[in-house]
């Protein structure tokens, strides 16, 4: 996949939002781990994709008008068997949507030390700003996040991680394992590099990224491009 081509085609056809599936394939391309995922359009296909990928499985409803998936019941986690998949598929098909429905079949990732949020927004004055935080109430209620304007150095990435108040959660708080800080630094640097090379990207939201003692995996992502007019 040539990322520049993919982004250009999207913008030319006035599509500015990459789906979760497309966003994660792009992340995979630049070396950020994402779960094995497959798009399906029938129950039969969904069941065979699940068996091929291996249980436990996650099913998500993909439709252009379903944005906050878990709020509408569009995420079915921890499916353990063909029967679970069968039932979850029927439930997903009940969710109201005016658009074409597809199913994303993905490998269920292991329980992390914690969930992270890594993002990018475009500041009208300074350009691409990278964001880092620990998912859940730390970000939602306490706004415990750090920002840096891209491009960032390895030193900046380290600072972004260390300066949030929730840092002890990553540093082996109460006997929990220490998170793989090096892996987080790598993701921040990779995203910095991507957005500097591709000015057509307006926004990125990796939410959540599961962090482990060794490695990490991004289980949900959204990439938004600049509109054609705003780039001319």
**Among 6-14, 75-83, 186-194, 220-228, the segment contacting Mg ion (CB under 5 A):** 220-228
Residues 149-208 that bind Mg ion (CB under 5 A): 207
Residues 219, 36: contact at Cβ < 8 Å? no
Spatial separation of the C-alpha atoms in residues 16 and 226, rounded to whole Å: 6
**Among 63-71, 89-97, 117-125, 144-152, the segment contacting ligand ADP (CB under 6 A):** 63-71
The entry of Mg ion, ligand ADP, none near residue 109 (CB within 5 to 8 angstroms by kind) is ligand ADP
**Does position 65 bind ligand ADP by CB under 6 A?**
no
Question: What one-character-per-residue DSSP string does the chain give?
Answer: --HHHHHHHHHHTT--EE-HHHHHHHHHHTT-----EEEESSHHHHHHHHHHH-SSEEEEEE-TT--SGGGGT-EEEEE-SHHHHHHHHHHHHHS--SS--EEEEEEPPPPPSEEEEEEEEEETTTEEEEEEEETTHHHHTT--EEEEESS--HHHHHHHHHTSTTHHHHBTGGGPPBP-HHHHHHHHHHHHHHHHH-TTEEEEEEEEEEE-SS-EEE--EEEEEPPHHHH-
Q: Which of 27, 59, 75, 179 binds ligand ADP (CB under 6 A)?
A: 75
Q: Which of 32, 50, 58, 206 binds ligand ADP (CB under 6 A)?
A: 58
In the bound complex, what is the minimum distance in angstroms from residue 2's beta carbon to Mg ion?
27
**Does position 115 bind Mg ion by CB under 5 A?**
no
In the bound complex, what is the minimum distance in angstroms from residue 220's beta carbon to ligand ADP?
3
Q: CB nearer to ligand ADP: give 166 or 208.
A: 208
**Does position 19 bind Mg ion by CB under 5 A?**
no
**Does position 109 bind ligand ADP by CB under 6 A?**
yes
Q: Which of 108, 129, 142, 149 binds ligand ADP (CB under 6 A)?
A: 108
Total of residues contacting ligand ADP (CB under 6 A):
14
SS3 string, 157-186, reads HHHHHHCCCCHHHHECHHHCCECCHHHHHH
**Among 26-34, 111-119, 183-191, 212-220, the segment contacting Mg ion (CB under 5 A):** 212-220
Q: Which residues bind ligand ADP (CB under 6 A)?
A: 35, 58, 60, 68-70, 75, 77, 106, 108-109, 208, 219-220
Q: Which residues bind Mg ion (CB under 5 A)?
A: 207, 220
């Amino acid at each position: 996949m040539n990322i520049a081509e993919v982004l250009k085609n999207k913008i030319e056809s006035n599509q500015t939002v990459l789906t979760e599936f497309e966003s994660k394939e792009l992340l995979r391309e630049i070396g950020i781990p994402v779960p094995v995922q497959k798009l399906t359009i029938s129950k039969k296909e969904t069941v065979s994709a699940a068996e091929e990928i291996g249980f436990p499985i996650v099913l998500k409803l993909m439709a252009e008008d379903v944005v906050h998936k878990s709020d509408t019941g569009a995420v079915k986690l921890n499916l353990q068997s063909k029967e679970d998949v069968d039932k979850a598929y029927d439930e997903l098909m009940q969710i109201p949507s005016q658009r074409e429905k597809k199913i994303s079949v993905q490998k269920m990732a292991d329980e992390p030390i914690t969930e992270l949020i890594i993002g990018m927004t475009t500041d009208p004055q300074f350009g691409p700003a990278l964001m880092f935080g620990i998912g859940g109430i730390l970000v939602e209620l306490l706004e415990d996040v750090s920002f840096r304007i891209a491009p960032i150095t390895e030193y900046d990435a380290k600072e972004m991680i260390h300066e949030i108040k929730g840092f002890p959660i990553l540093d082996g708080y109460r006997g929990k394992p220490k998170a793989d800080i090096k892996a987080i630094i790598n993701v921040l640097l990779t995203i910095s590099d991507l957005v500097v090379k591709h000015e057509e990207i307006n926004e990125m939201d990796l939410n959540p990224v599961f962090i482990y003692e060794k490695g990490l995996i991004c289980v949900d992502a959204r990439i938004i491009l600049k509109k054609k007019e705003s780039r001319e």
